[in-house]
Amino acid sequence: MQEHLRPALVVVALSTALLGIAAPLAFVGGAQALAPHAAGGSLLTLNGKIVGSSLIGQNFTGAGYFHGRPSATTAPDPKDSSKTVPAPYNAASSSGSNLAPTSAALVSRVKADAAGNSDIPADAVTTSASGLDPDISPENAARQVARVADARHLARPAVQALVDRWTTPPLLGIFGAARVDVLRLNMAMDAASR
Amino acid sequence: MSILGWVQIVLVLALVLLAAVPLGRFIARVLGGERTFLSPMLGPVERVTFRLAGIDPTRSMGWRGYTVALLMLSAVHFLLLYAVLRAQYYLPFNPQGFTGMSPRLAFNTAVSFVTNTNWQAYAGETTLSNGAQMFGLTVHNFLSAAAGIAAAAAVSRAFRRVRGDGLGNFWADLVRITLYVLLPLAIVVTILLIALGVPQTMLGSIDVTTLEGAKQTLAIGPVAFQEAIKLLGTNGGGFFNVNSAHPFENPGVLSDIIENWSLLVIPFAMPVMFGCIAGRRRDGAALLTTMMALLLVFTGCIYAAETAGNPLLHALGVSDVMGNMEGKEVRFGQALNALFAASTTATSTGAVIAMHDSLMPLGGLVTLLLMQLGEVVPGGVGSGLYSMLVFALLAVFVAGLMVGRTPEYLGKKVQAREIKLAMLAVLILPLLILGGTAISLCTASGLGSLANAGPHGLSEMLYAWTSATANNGSAFGGLSADTPLLDYGLGIAMLFGRFAFLVPVLAIAGSLAAKPTVPPSAGTFPTDGPLFVGLLAGVILILGGLQFLPALSLGPLAEHFAMLAGKTF
Amino acid sequence: MDVPVSPMSAQDSAGPAGTIALFDGPILLRATRDAFRKLDPRHLLRNPVIFVTEVVAILVTVLGGRDLVTAHAGAGFALSIAAWLWLTVLFATFAEAVAEGRGRARADTLRRARTDVMAKVLVRPDDRAFWKPTPANELKRDSIVLVETGDLIPSDGEVVEGVASVNESAITGESAPVIREAGGDRSAVTGGTQVVSDWLLVRITADPGGTFIDRMISLVEGAARRKTPNEIALDILLAGLTIIFLIAVATLVGLAHYSGSVLGIPVLAALLVTLIPTTIGGLLSAIGIAGMDRLIRFNVVATSGRAVEAAGDVDLLLLDKTGTITFGNRMAAGFHPVPGVDNRELADAAATASLGDETPEGRSVVSFARERHGAAPELPADAVLVPFSANTRVSGLDSGGRSWRKGAVDSVLALSAVPPPPEFTAAVDRIARAGGTPLGVVADGRLLGAIELKDIVKPGIRERFAALRRMGIRTVMITGDNKVTAAAIAAEAGVDDVLAQATPQDKLDYIRKAQADGRLVAMCGDGTNDAPALAQADVGVAMQTGTQAAREAGNMVDLDSDPTKLIEVVEIGKQLLITRGSLTTFSIANDVSKYFAILPAIFVATYPGLQALNVMRLHSPQSAILSAVIFNALIIVALVPLALRGVAFRPLGAAALLRRNLLIYGLGGLVAPFAGIKLIDLALTILGVA
């Protein structure tokens, strides 16, 4: 037993120093110097002010903006800290809905959101895994073009063109899904309206 | 399902295999103490570590010595991590000012990381400081992974033809794996992930004002380095609550492919390493083939289940084209989602890019089953290989008698002692998983933790105990896991799942190592061909899976048929 | 000369009790009684799977009885489940009882040989005039007894003086008496055999109750049966599986409680008993007993089941050349005529010269000439036989003024007027180099040619060795011959290795070296100098005709003293293991279908959708559960003949054997119960039982 105590202590101490402190700090320093944007959260600025991260979705509710997916994130209830209240796109506390496919809560939520429409793109009425999904599907975006164009008094084809501009195809045409970056599309909408 | 989806799955797995074969050989050389291209750089570090720690790498240990060393490391580890979690308020790098964890949660979390489970009863970004993530969790990701690989190496050495060499030196194995395998791989993956947008900063959070003028707080920190090792070491404990589904952990498709590759590459390198160490490359290849074949089949099952879409939502006007999107991110697509869900439960990783709680019933069933089979296709780093070897011994024993000889695996006779120890190890899974689930579901506390009702509630609880016992760490996340029952119960399940399995396996290794190697002949049970691959797969499914069928039929299967009948809970 | 290599089937060999039909009326009757006697839980503790079944059966019976008294609705169902659970246990004990019964029948005949003999114990070892009558079962080791004509030999021993013919039919079934004499390799006698002529002084070598026949009786009865290593390992596996399924079924109570369905004890009992490996659990000991029985029917007595199992593992066979690989006598194998003489003429002359020669060599010349060359000369009426003598070293016959001689080459040449042609000399050299013996043939003083005599390899032995090689077993020939001769025979017989000019120490060293390389070695031997090697070998088969030392060193005794039987012993060992493995695989594979029968049945009330899992479309939940339980019980009975007879053995390589058995017992085990359960369900439905 005792013969193993020294190696155990030394190995844990050394690896804490090397792997727990030195290596992460070295990466922080190196990344700060070489790739400050990527390592710093891929922040987007508008007029010198940080308006968000290109990777993190935001809660858009206005008719003139493309809406992201429903989000299941919550925040502590200001009235009772042991409870939570819905707080969509709370990037300080990522969370999915964790509702089962057979959940009555899921079905009634979707029923309300679907509002009797048909052929709704699935991502438009389902919450994302993180609650912070920055993307929507091109089909979802296409269904919002009319609303956004009307609200902003823009031509629908022009809006659709911007949607296409901010649509990322699958990687190499194979991997992943085509997706529309909602935050940057909305920034582009603002720019187009100005 | 689409052909393009299958192309994605097959290509990612091909990338894994392409790297796993040379990596496995490399690991075997490192563990043999041979010089590699990294030696000029890391050799001095290795030697200094050996001197400081008083390690003599040439001193081989018996199975008892090896086990005691491994347990000693885990004990020291556990105490240190427990202390860090409790005292994080007083430790550096705590920009968020988080207070220490409760004793109960700290126990659960420390056990979880020491056992390579990384079950998260806490939400990372709202509970843990950057410091605790770094020198608490990140270090453990390295060491618990290295300990697993070391144990696999020890078991592999039992099959060497030369007798009386012992199982190797645990400390030397641990240091070498960490220095030559995990650290270099982690560095490469970290660099790639940072380049793709995974943050690595000492800030705790960033406040932004959104386009609509609202305030948004972005939780952030030194994510990339921990992300890399959490996947490479099949640990799976995310920096954030939603793990690799979080855009900061896994910002895009390429990062997802890298992460999926990372969590599979070392587990698939293990059978190759085994083949090299035992001097039986073809047998190693047979194990690898079995793992890969089952992984492909199970991935296909999840893929099929998820792309079918939810009929209950379809009835409300939701299109089925995208499949089941609840709890999934848009960017990954169903094929990569299925591959990740299968990979993370087939290994002991437990990182997720989709919320497993919201998987379709049959998709969830597959993730459950993959863990209940003991995580062998390919399983966690090291643990997958040694669990697979237990199945190989059982397969050889059950069917081996059919060729009219005392069963033997790689020339080592499988006799009463080995079977006793193997059954002891195998018993742990049903005992803790089914026992824990049944007890929890009969207590008010357990029922209070459930987020979903009906058969899915049963699945949630079953998943928690399965994940803990199999040292996976993923969850049906709706379950409120930070309760006394689950913190302590699952903590114990994790401990037994790891060590009550590992110790008998090391004892088997000790017993096999002492046996002479029977030279192969035409009468030898073949363990390197397609016949054995099929047999092994069958034994894994029947001996490993069948006892869980009643539970699965009351959970996911019942839910599936209820869903088809239009029922909700 | 036409001794065949022993055929594979053992049944036709007259063993200690002859052949016993697979199911013999009285045996079955007795077995049925014994099956009930074996229900004693203390007895069943040895068998965890069946023990659990019995405990569950008791539980369900009690509950069913209570329900009956309280007129509860489920009483009938519970009691029918209970009945079939009891039958499951009974079928298992019955299988064991049948196997034991067959052994007991054999033991009874053996016991008749062990009547209470009075032994004539010498008062002074050197004076056989004075002896004291002593009951055989009180004989001490090392006492000297006198056995005279008509006496039964009272116990195992070694002849110290005298020569006698002994009838050993009591143990070997062979009625021709054998010679037993002091010294040499034929000095061992067995208790219960009878001296037919002359007398013997025998030193007793066995303790009372420990004689060969005693051991044989306890072995065939299964009384002394200890579990073999593989059986122990298998038992652990089965116990482990039982515990796993106990956990699965016990926890199901909690899971079902959550799901809102209440599972009755009979249903849970049915699920448990159908899932635990009752099939192999019920048949395991019967398989072991039957394996020993097969060996005994084959006239080989093993001292332990362990040895039989080891025989299956053997990968190196050490075989004596003489008597095993070759007939041991030199026989004619070719004619080599001198120029100007054709084969037929030489054959005629050689056969004629041998007509009066009654030695095996002489007879072989006659039959070889007839079979190969159609030469069948008659013995002339006026023939004068010239027998072989050490002086002339030739033999032959004279008739009608003509003379025919055959014999040693130089002696024959002396009878010939002219010097031999070079072709003759060359032929003689060639024969000698190939390990054969050349004989010259002259007729009327004219040299006709040479006969080639050699040690003939038994027909079919080469194929046997090839079959062994396919099974992964190497054969090694042991011989005292020189290397050249040995190599020639080895090549002809197709053995893998030769140990020429072998001393006992050489044999021992060879075995030790092979064992150090991880091989399991089997050998047979009869002489005292074989004893160390027999003891060292993993499987040592001693000949019944051999010395007591050899018989004690080995772990099997061949009553027929036929060394080729080693091959069959290996096959019987393999068959034992294969039968166990096949039924284990079958038993485990069966579970899949039982889930599909029972799970939908017990949960369909709670989750109607699970009816989709009822792939067999069984009539009702009750009939489904009952059908699975009935199938589970009946399959044990159905497999009893297979367990007793053993799975058919084929000398194939492991890969082919595995493929074949996996297909039959693995895949068959998956599929068969689907059909079986469905049929039982149909029958129950038609009978209106459920």
Tokens found for residue B8 = 């994605």
Given a cut of 60, is residue C20 above it in pLDDT?
no
Contacts of A15 in chain B (CB under 8 A): 139, 142-143, 178
CA distance C570 to C591: 33
Cβ atoms of B66 and B168 within 8 Å: the answer is yes
Using CA atoms, how far apart are residues C438 and C436, in angstroms rounded to an integer? 7
Chain B residue closest in CA terms to A89: B216
pLDDT at B140: 87
CA distances (Å), B235 to each of A47, B117, B346, B364, B529, in order? Answer: 42, 6, 13, 20, 32
Instruction: Give per-residue pLDDT as tens, B484-538.
Output: 889 999 999 999 999 999 999 999 999 999 888 888 877 788 888 898 999 999 9
C320-371 tens-digit pLDDT: 777 677 776 778 888 999 988 888 889 988 888 888 888 778 888 888 888 8
On chain B, the residues whose CB falls within 8 A of the CB of A51 are 208-211
pLDDT on residue B271:
96
Catalytic, C320? Answer: yes
Q: Which three-class secondary structure state does DSSP give residue C446?
A: strand
A171 against C562, higher pLDDT? A171
Question: Is pLDDT at C1 greater than 70 in this prediction?
Answer: no
CA atoms of C254 and C233, how far apart (whole Å): 33
Query: Which among A1, A62, A94 has CB closest to B212?
Result: A62
User: Distance (Å, rounded) from C-alpha C255 to C-alpha C382?
Assistant: 103
DSSP state of C609: G
Cβ atoms of residues B436 and B426 within 8 Å: no
Residue B369 maps to a domain = yes
The answer to whether residue B543 is domain-embedded is: yes
Distance CA C432, CA C424 (A): 12
- Is B296 a member of any domain? yes
Work out how many domains chain B is built from and give that number. 1
Tokens matching residue C233: 């390992």
- Map tokens 């008739």 to a residue: C399
Rounding to the nearest 10 degrees, give the CA dihedral for residues B352, B353, B359, B365: -40
The pLDDT value recorded for residue C14 is: 38
Which B residues 289-318 touch A at CB under 8 Å? 309-310, 312-313, 316-318
Instruction: Give the pTM.
Output: 0.87
Tokens linked to C689: 């039982």
Q: Packing angle between helix B253-278 and helix B333-346, nearest 10 degrees?
A: 40
> Domain range for residue B447?
3-208+218-564
Q: Is B114 on the interface with C (CB under 8 A)?
A: no
* pLDDT value, residue C225: 63
Evaluate whether C87 touches C637 at the Cβ level (below 8 Å): no
Among B124-138, B351-365, C46-60, the range scoring the smallest mean pLDDT is: B124-138
For an interface test with B, which of C591, C607, C610 has the most B Cβ atoms less than 10 Å from its Cβ?
Answer: C607
Burial of C191 (0-12, 13-18, 19+ CB in 10 A): buried
Q: How many whole angstroms separate alpha carbon B186 and alpha carbon B262?
A: 9
DSSP 8-state symbol, A180? E
Residue with the bigger pLDDT between A81 and A47: it is A47
Q: Assign C272 to helix, strand or coil.
A: helix
The DSSP secondary structure of C121-154, one letter per residue, reads EEEETTEEEEEEEEEGGGPPTT-EEEE-TTPBP-
Q: What pLDDT was estimated at residue C224? A: 56
Q: Residue B291 to residues B155, B157, B388, C272, C665: CA-CA distances in angstroms?
A: 18, 21, 9, 31, 25
B213 in any annotated domain: no
- Model confidence over B287-299: pLDDT tens digits? 999 999 999 999 9
Put simply, whether A4 touches B (Cβ < 8 Å) is yes
Residue B378, preceding bond cis, omega within 30 degrees? yes
| Cβ count within 10 A of residue B545 | 15
The per-residue pLDDT for C23 is 63
Q: Which of A101, A120, A127 sits opposite B310 (nearest CB)?
A: A101
Q: What is the DSSP letter of B354?
A: B
| C478 pLDDT tier (thresholds 50, 70, 90) | confident
Distance in angstroms (rounded) separating the CA atoms of residues B370 and B346:
5
Token pair listed for C208 = 């009372």
A152-161, C7-16, C659-668: the lowest-pLDDT one: C7-16
Q: What is the CA radius of gyration of chain C?
A: 33
Handedness of CA B146, B148, B153, B154 (dihedral sign): positive
In angstroms, the separation between the Cα of residue A99 and the nearest Cα of chain B is 5
pLDDT at site C209: 74
For C227, name the nearest residue in chain B, comparing CA atoms only. Answer: B416
> Which residue of B7, B224, B353 is in closest CB contact with A129?
B353
Residues C645 and C588 sit within 8 Å (Cβ to Cβ): no
> Residues 121-180, chain A: which have Cβ within 8 Å of B?
121-123, 125-137, 139, 170-171, 174-177, 179
What pLDDT does residue C277 have?
92
Task: Identify the pLDDT of residue C116.
Answer: 66
**Rounded alpha-carbon distances, angstroms, from residue C525 to C166, C218, C377, C507:** 21, 25, 42, 11
CA dist A93 and C465 (Å) reads 75
What lies within 8 Å, CB to CB, of B561 at 6+ separation is: C607, C608, C609, C610, C612
- Contact flag B525-C658 (C-beta cutoff 8 Å): yes
Q: How far is CA B342 from CA B376, C200, C247, in A?
A: 12, 81, 27
Q: Does B315 touch chain C (CB under 8 A)?
A: no
Q: Confidence class of residue C223 from pLDDT cuts 50, 70 and 90?
A: low
Give the closest residue to C475 by CA, choosing from C453, C457, C493.
C493
Instruction: Please tell me what DSSP assigns to residue B36.
Output: -
For residue A168, what is the enclosing H or E element? strand A167-168
Listed by number, the residues of chain B in 518-537 with a beta carbon closer than 8 Å to a beta carbon of chain C are 518-519, 521-526, 529, 531, 535
A62 Cβ under 8 Å from any chain B Cβ:
yes
DSSP codes, C282-340: HHHHHHHHHHHHHHHHTTEEES-HHHHHHHHH--EEEEETBTTTEEEEEEEEEEEEPTT
Residue B569 lies in a domain: no
Q: What is the CA radius of gyration of chain B?
A: 23
- Mind listing the pLDDT tens digit for each residue in B438-479? 999 999 998 988 988 899 999 999 999 999 999 998 889 889
Would the CB atoms of B211 and A137 count as touching at under 8 Å?
A: no
- Choose the weakest-confidence range: B175-189, B265-279, C214-228: C214-228
* C111-152 tens-digit pLDDT: 766 656 788 888 887 777 888 888 877 788 888 888 888 888
Whether residues B560 and C609 touch (CB distance < 8 A) is answered with: yes
Please give the pLDDT value at position C367.
87
- Rg of chain A's alpha carbons, rounded to an integer? 22
Per the domain annotation, does B478 fall within a domain?
A: yes
- Is B556 strand, coil or helix? helix
Any CB–CB contact under 8 A between B541 and chain C? no
Distance of CA C142 to the CA centre of its chain: 33
Q: What is the pLDDT of residue C119?
A: 83
- Quick one: residue C150, left, alpha or beta (phi over 0 = left, psi -120 to 50 = alpha)? left
Q: What is the pLDDT of residues C78-95, one digit of tens each?
A: 999 999 999 999 999 999
- Of C611, C522, C606, which is closest to residue C568 (Cα–Cα)? C522
| Helix runs in B211-332, H state only | 223-232, 253-278, 281-307, 311-314
Residue whose structure tokens are 């048909």: A118
The strand pairing partners of C167, in sequence order, are C194
d(CA C479, CA C483): 9
pLDDT grade, residue B152 (50/70/90)? very high
- Measured between beta carbons, which residues in chain B are less than 8 angstroms from residue A187? 211
Cα–Cα dist A102/C345, whole Å:
101
> Sign of torsion, CA C582 C587 C589 C593?
positive
For C255, the token pair is 């899971």
C279, C206 contact by CB (below 8 A): no
Q: Which residue in B322, B349, B53, B312 sits closest to B172, CA to CA?
A: B53
> Which of C320, C348, C530, C558 is an active site residue?
C320
- What band does C245 get if pLDDT is binned at 50, 70 and 90? very high
Positive or negative torsion for Cα C363, C365, C370, C376: negative
